[in-house]
Amino acid sequence: MSTIHGPNCIAIPIEGKEQLLSAIQEAVNLHIFSHAERRRAAELAMKLHHIWGKTTEIFDRILQFI
């Protein structure tokens, strides 16, 4: 992975990725944040999805809240 993305990139196990996406989903679901803040969290999830290259059920649920 470091040969593709450089030496500053660390490998994250699948469980870690799922936990991170789950935490982002929780942030998106909290109604204490503005629509713009929830949208930024969803954009972060989309970037991670693009980097990781897999569609996950959690990612699909995040997109429902944009």
- Condensed to tens digits (0 to 9), the pLDDT of residues 37-54 reads 888 888 888 888 777 765
pLDDT of residue 1: 45
Tell me whether residue 54 is in a domain: yes
pLDDT of residue 2: 45
Range of the domain at 27: 12-63
How many domains does the chain contain in total? 1
pLDDT of residue 7: 58
Tell me whether residue 7 is in a domain: no
Tell me whether residue 58 is in a domain: yes
- Is 12 or 3 the better-scoring residue by pLDDT? 12
- What average pLDDT does the chain have? 73
User: pTM of this prediction?
Assistant: 0.57
> What's the chain's length in residues?
66
H or E segment to which residue 57 belongs: helix 57-63
